[in-house]
Amino acid sequence: MTAANSVFSRTNRAFENAGLSCLKRHEIDFSPAAQVMQISSRLFQMLDRSDPVQAEVSLRLWVLRSSILFTLLPFGDSALRLQLQMNELEQSSLGLPDATQLIETLKKYVTDIVSVGRNPKRELFLHVLDESIEKDGGKIGIFCALSAGRPPGWPSERYAQLSALSDRLMLIGSRRHMRANVFGTVILPCACCNAPPELLSDLLFSGCAAKLEVLLYKGERFQIPKRLMLPVDGIFAGRLQKTDIESEVNVISGDSSMSAVDTWVNEAFWQGLHGAERNSSHNLVPANYMLFCDGTGTFLPANGRILTLPADGEVTDEADLCLVRVENVCEGDLIVLRSGDSGFLLDEATDRIMSSEDNESLFEIATDWKEALEALLVTHSNEQVAQALRERDAQTNAASIRQWIGPDVLGPGNERVFKELINLLADKGKIKKVDGELIRYADSRWKSLQELRGVRHKAGNLIRQDLFKVLFNRIESRNGQLNDGERIHVEGVTGAELLILRVSSVDRNPAHVPPSRLGQVDDLKGNKWLG
Amino acid sequence: MNLLPADLSKSISILDGCEKSSLPDWAASLIWLGAWCRSNRLAGKRLIVFAVLPTRELAAAFASLGCLISGAGNFVDALSWSTFKKLPLGRSVFWISKIGSKRYSGKIIGFKDYDGSEFIVVDVTKAPKKAEVGTRREISRNYFDDYLFTEEKPATAPRSASFDAAAQSLSYLVENLNPKWIWADGAEGLLVTNVATFESAIAGLSLSIEGQNPIAMSDLLCLERNKIQSHAKLRIDHPKGVISGNFPIVILDGAKAFMVHEHLTAGSNMLVILDRSEYQEGIHDEVMQLKSISSDCQNADLKSAMPGTLTPGVELAAYWVDE
C-alpha cells in the first residue's frame, strides 16, 4: 500500500474535507427541461395514484422526467429511449382525456430535446470535469446512486463510456466506494431527491470530497439533508467549530407537488417490488428487502445476520467470510444465500452432526416442551405467559414467548427462565410431571438444549468451512473473481445450492412479512419498476 | 494544568509507510481527548464522552495514545505486597527470580503468618524445570521484591524490548515518567473495537517523538487482547461476549462497540467514538437520556486544560453521571 491511499492519508483528507468542504450549485437555464418539469408537475397533480392505470402513467412520467434530469448522456443517445418512453407514456394515458393536452405539450418538448440532441448538463459536466482535472490531482467521483434500482437516464451499457473520460473518474454507486476513497471533487448530476438518503448523507458529511458540484436545471431543488447531531453540552459548548457545508442554508423555494411525487415514487418503487406491509401485525416479522444486481430480490430478517464476502469478490482465506447484521448490509456488498430457504442450510448441517454423533433425536428431545407451551397459548396470550414468568422472577417478554414457540429460536437462553417456564407449564397442567420427576425433566431438557446449541455452533463452523472450500476451488479454477449473481453447488457435502448475490439497493424502511418469505428469492426480471 | 506538551504537533511526527509528516490537528485533538477522558476523575461519578467524527478510522488509536500518556503521567507506584494480599485465592500469578531471571507461574493458595512474618503460599504450575511443577512454595514478604511478582504474564524478550522502546518514546511526552510505570500491573484503558480492522488500520504507521527513532503505533500502544493475561498497558477486545476487567477508561470504537456499554463496569469513564453515519436515532436517544440524568460538575484543573477550540469536524459532548 502506498502512503497516498493509506488509511492515514485517507483519514487526514477526510478531516481536511470536513473542515473545508465546499458545495457549489450550478444552475442551468434550459427552457425545454424546465418546461418538462412544469408540465410533469401539473400532470402529477392531476393523476390519482390510487388508481392502477394512473399509477402506471405516473411511473412512466417519473421515469421520463428523471431520464431527462438525471442523465449526463447526449439526449439523442439511443440508450436513453426518450422518444420511445414518450410514445409509451402517450399510449398508456389514452384513457385519461383530461391529460391529453398536457401530454401533447410534453411530447412537443421531449421531441425538441431529442431532436436538438445536445445536453447542456453534459456540457457543464464536461467543463466541471476538465476544470477538476486541471486544478486538483485527486480522484473525481460521479454520484450515480440516484434512485433505488437502476436510475433513469443511467443505462448500464453507458457506464464504461463515462468512466473512459478520465482515469481519475470513478462512479460512486455505493457506500463502499465512498469509504474506500477520498475524492478531490464529486459531481452530483441532479437534485438527488430519489437517492438513498443515507448514501447522500455519507457523501456530504463524511469528508468524502473537498468539492461537491451539483448540476441542476433551473427549477430542480437540491436540499442538504438534515443531519442528527450531538446535543450541546455544558463542557464543550463554544469550543466546537461548525463546518462550512453545515452552515449553508437552502433558500430556493421549490415545487411541493414535485417533492410529493418523489416521496411517492420512492415508496412506490419498493411496493412495486415486494408489496409488503409496512405495519406490524400478528405472525409477521420485520424484514428489509434487498434488490440484487442480477434482477432478483429477497427479504432478510431486520434483526438477523447474513454471510458476506469481500465487496471486490476476492476471497483469500476463511476470515473473508463475515457474518454481518442485515441492517449493516450496504449497496455493493456480496452476500451468500442458500437457494430456497437459507435457514435450512444450518438445519441440514445440524442433522449431519447429530447423526454422526449417534444423537439423531436430540432436536426432538430438546424441544418437546414446545408442544406444552403451544397448548398453553391456546388459552393464554403471550403477554399473560410472560407476566406469569415475571411473577416467578424469570425476566422475559411477550416477544420472546412468541419466538420460543417458532422454529427460529430453540428456547430460553437463560437456565432460570427455562426452568420456570417448565414449572409454569406443569402448574398449568400442560406437562404431566411433579416433584422430582419434574426437576429431572427440566434438568435433562436444559442439558439437551445446551447440547443442541453446541451442535448448531459446530454446524455454523462446518458450513463456513464447506463454503470456503467450494468458493476457493471456484475462484482458483477461474483464475478470477466471483460474478454478481453466481450459483454455487456445494457438491457431496450438503448438496446445497448457494447463491452469491451483489446488493444493488436496500429498502431501509422495514416491511412486515410472514416468516416463510424470508430468504425466498424473487425473480424480478420484467418488473416494470426495474425498467 | 498541562495534560500534554504545549505543541504536540511539533513533538510528534508520523511515518506513514515511507512518508513523513507532522502530527495533524485532528490526531492531536484525539490524543488530547484520550488524555482528558483518562485524567478526569471525580469521586462517585463517571464521565461519558461522545465524539462524532467525519470518519473514525485511526481515531481510537490516537485517543488510546492520549490515554496512555495521561496514565503514565498520573502513575503512582503502589505497594505490591498489599495489592497481592487482596487477590482472591486460586488467582494465577507470575514471577521472575531476579537472580537468573527464571520465569514461573502459579496459583495463590493463601497467606501465612509465622511469628509475625508474612508468607505468600503458591502452587507452582509452570517452571523452567519440570521437577518444580506441582510443588508448593512459601515466599517470605522480606524476599517478595526479589521475585518481581505480577498478575500479568511478564512480556517475552522481544515484547520487553518493544515495551522499553515505548516507555522511552513516551518519556519525551511525560515529564518525570516513572520507569516503573511501563512494568506496573494494570492497563490504562480498554479499547472495544473490531480488532482485525483496527490492527490493519494501524499497520505501517509509526510515530517519531522529538526526533527519536520511529516506533510502530502497534508497539507504542503496548496492546494485548483482553482475554490474555500477558502484561499490557492497553487492552483490546471485540464488541461481543463477556467483556471483563476494571479499567480507568473504556473506549468504545463504533456503533457496534457502543452496544456493549451496558455490560461494562460502572466505574470506568467512557469515550464513545462514532462516525457521522453511525450517529442515528437509537444512539441519539440514549445520549438525550444521559443528558437528562447528568450532573453539572467540572474538574476545574481540567477545564483550564481544555483547548480554546477543537479541530473542525470534531464534535463532542460529555456528561457526568453517578456511578
What does DSSP assign to residue B155? P
Angle between helices A435-478 and A415-427 (to 10 degrees): 130
| B306 and B247 both lie in a single domain | yes
Q: CA–CA separation, A65 vs B201, rounded Å?
A: 44
pLDDT at residue A304, rounded to an integer: 81
Domains contained in chain B, number: 2
Cα angle vertex A6, ends B66, A169, to 5°?
Answer: 135
Find the residue in B nearest to A325 (Cα): B256
What does DSSP assign to residue B150? B
Task: Inform me whether the pLDDT recorded for A36 exceeds 90.
Answer: yes
DSSP class per residue in A418-429: HHHHHHHHHHTT
Chain B interface test: which of A5, A11, A176, A178 (most B C-beta within 10 Å): A11
Question: What residues in B contact A236, CB-CB < 8 Å?
Answer: 310, 316-318
Q: Does the beta carbon of A202 lie under 8 angstroms from any beta carbon of chain B?
A: yes
How many interchain CB pairs under 8 A, A with B? 124
- Assigned C-alpha cell, A373: 407451551
Window 275-314 of B, Cβ < 8 Å to A: 275-277, 279-281, 284, 287-288, 291, 296, 298, 303, 306-314
| B122 and B193 both lie in a single domain | no
Sheet arrangement for strand B269-275: B223-225, B234-237, B189-192, B249-253, B269-275, B45-53, B315-322
Q: Does the beta carbon of B201 lie under 8 angstroms from any beta carbon of chain A?
A: yes
pLDDT at residue A232, rounded to an integer: 87
Q: Which of A1, A7, A14 sits opposite B54 (nearest CB)?
A: A14
Find the residue in B nearest to A233 (Cα): B317
Confirm whether B83 is domain-assigned. no
Place of cell 406437562: A431
Query: What is the 3-class SS of A160-186, one letter each residue?
Result: HHHHCCCCCEEEECCHHHHHCCCEEEE
Percent of chain A with pLDDT over 70: 82
| B183 and B302 both lie in a single domain | yes
CB A193 within 8 A of CB A214: no
Confirm whether B220 is domain-assigned. yes
DSSP class per residue in B114-129: ETTEEEEEEEEEE-SS
Strands B12-16 and A305-309: unpaired
Q: CA–CA separation, A1 vs A291, rounded Å?
A: 33
Give the pLDDT band (50/70/90) at residue A341.
very low
Domain boundary among B150, B177, B193: B150
| B200 and B134 both lie in a single domain | no
| B137 and B214 both lie in a single domain | no
Task: Inform me whether the pLDDT recorded for A343 exceeds 60.
Answer: no
Q: CA–CA separation, A299 vs A510, rounded Å?
A: 10
Q: Does the beta carbon of A247 lie under 8 angstroms from any beta carbon of chain B?
A: no
DSSP class per residue in B50-71: EEEES--TTHHHHHHHHHHHHH
Pairwise CB contact (< 8 Å): B16 & A1: no
Pairwise CB contact (< 8 Å): B57 & A201: no
| B146 and B286 both lie in a single domain | no
Give the pLDDT band (50/70/90) at residue A475.
low
- Assigned C-alpha cell, B28: 492531536
Task: Inform me whether the pLDDT recorded for A3 exceeds 80.
Answer: no
**Minimum mean pLDDT range among A34-43, A69-78, A155-164:** A155-164
Domain boundary among B124, B150, B176: B150
Q: Which of B17, B279, B296 sits opposite A6 (nearest CB)?
A: B17
What separation in angstroms does the CA of A44 have from each of A83, A147, A193?
A: 20, 19, 16
| B167 and B270 both lie in a single domain | yes
| B132 and B250 both lie in a single domain | no
Q: What are phi and psi of A514, to 5 degrees?
A: -65, 145
Task: Decide which of A85 and A348 is more confident.
Answer: A85
Give the pLDDT band (50/70/90) at residue A257.
low
Q: Which of A12, A18, A239 sits opposite B309 (nearest CB)?
A: A239
pLDDT at residue A35, rounded to an integer: 92
Q: CA–CA separation, A425 vs A369, rounded Å?
A: 9
- The CATH number of residue B69's host domain is 3.40.50
Give the pLDDT band (50/70/90) at residue A253.
very low
pLDDT at residue A479, rounded to an integer: 53
Q: CA–CA separation, A34 vs A218, rounded Å?
A: 6
Give the pLDDT band (50/70/90) at residue A362.
confident
- Assigned C-alpha cell, B49: 464522552
Q: CA–CA separation, A415 vs A407, rounded Å?
A: 19
Task: Inform me whether the pLDDT recorded for A255 exceeds 70.
Answer: no
Cα angle vertex A329, ends A326, A330, to 5°?
Answer: 155
Q: For residue A23, what are the β-bridge partners?
A: A212
Residue B81 falls in which region: left (phi positive, over 0), alpha (psi -120 to 50) or beta: alpha
pLDDT at residue A490, rounded to an integer: 57
Give the pLDDT band (50/70/90) at residue A342.
very low
Place of cell 394515458: A93
Query: What is the 3-class SS of A357-378, one letter each residue?
Result: CCCCCHHHHHHCHHHHHHHHHH
CB A311 within 8 A of CB A484: no
Q: What are phi and psi of A358, to 5 degrees?
A: 60, 40
Q: Does the beta carbon of B54 lie under 8 angstroms from any beta carbon of chain A?
A: yes
Window 167-186 of A, Cβ < 8 Å to B: 175
Domain boundary among B150, B166, B191: B150
pLDDT at residue A495, rounded to an integer: 54
Say how many C-beta atoms besides its own lie within 10 A of residue A125's C-beta: 20
What does DSSP assign to residue A339? S
pLDDT at residue B106, rounded to an integer: 92
Global pTM? 0.73
CB B234 within 8 A of CB B36: no
pLDDT at residue B177, rounded to an integer: 85
Q: Among A278, A364, A279, A341, which residue's Cα sits nearest to residue A498?
A: A341
Complex-level ipTM beyond the 0.85 threshold: no
Chain Cα centroid distance, residue B141: 29
Confirm whether B14 is domain-assigned. yes
Q: What are phi and psi of A464, to 5 degrees?
A: -60, -45
Task: Inform me whether the pLDDT recorded for A2 exceeds 70.
Answer: no
Confirm whether B296 is domain-assigned. yes
Confirm whether B293 is domain-assigned. yes
Across residues A172-193, what is the average pLDDT?
A: 89
Q: Is A247 exposed, middle or buried (0-12, 13-18, 19+ CB in 10 A)?
A: exposed
Question: What residues in A contact B55, CB-CB < 8 Å?
Answer: 10-11, 14-15, 206-207
Q: What is the dihedral of CA B278, B283, B284, B289, to 10 degrees?
A: -160
Share the mean pLDDT of chain A: 83
pLDDT digits (tens, 9 = 90+) for A382-420: 889 999 998 998 888 887 888 788 776 788 888 889 999
| B113 and B55 both lie in a single domain | no
| B255 and B115 both lie in a single domain | no
Q: How many Å is the Cα radius of gyration of chain A?
A: 28
Q: CA–CA separation, B248 vs B261, rounded Å?
A: 14
What separation in angstroms does the CA of A399 have from each of A282, A284, A383, A410, A415?
A: 11, 12, 8, 14, 18
What does DSSP assign to residue B233? S
Pairwise CB contact (< 8 Å): A241 & B311: yes
pLDDT digits (tens, 9 = 90+) for B205-240: 999 999 999 999 999 999 999 988 888 999 999 887
Task: Inform me whether the pLDDT recorded for A281 exceeds 60.
Answer: yes
| B163 and B310 both lie in a single domain | yes
CB B250 within 8 A of CB B189: yes
CB A246 within 8 A of CB B276: no
Across residues A172-199, what is the average pLDDT?
A: 89
Confirm whether B160 is domain-assigned. yes
| B101 and B180 both lie in a single domain | no
pLDDT at residue A251, rounded to an integer: 39
Pairwise CB contact (< 8 Å): B318 & A9: no
Q: Does the beta carbon of B317 lie under 8 angstroms from any beta carbon of chain A?
A: yes
**Minimum mean pLDDT range among A283-297, B72-86, B223-237:** B72-86
Pairwise CB contact (< 8 Å): A230 & B279: yes
**Helix, coil or strand: residue A231:** coil
Q: Which of A1, A227, A239 sits opposite B276 (nearest CB)?
A: A227
Question: What residues in A contact B50, CB-CB < 8 Å?
Answer: 230
Q: CA–CA separation, B274 vs B258, rounded Å?
A: 9
CB A422 within 8 A of CB A445: yes
Across residues A430-457, what is the average pLDDT?
A: 88
Say how many C-beta atoms besides its own lie within 10 A of residue A70's C-beta: 23
- Domain that residue B94 falls in: 88-150
Strands A22-28 and A209-217: parallel
Chain Cα centroid distance, residue A278: 16
Q: How many residues are listed for chain B in this entry?
A: 323
Residue A302 falls in which region: left (phi positive, over 0), alpha (psi -120 to 50) or beta: alpha
Confirm whether B165 is domain-assigned. yes
Q: What is the dihedral of CA B193, B59, B318, B25, to 10 degrees?
A: 170
Q: Does the beta carbon of A8 lie under 8 angstroms from any beta carbon of chain B?
A: yes
Task: Decide which of A258 and A134 is more confident.
Answer: A134
What separation in angstroms does the CA of A355 have from each of A97, A346, A348, A352?
A: 70, 14, 11, 5
Confirm whether B204 is domain-assigned. yes
pLDDT at residue A254, rounded to an integer: 43
Across residues A3-19, what is the average pLDDT?
A: 86
Host H or E run for residue A502: strand A497-513
- The CATH number of residue B92's host domain is 2.30.30
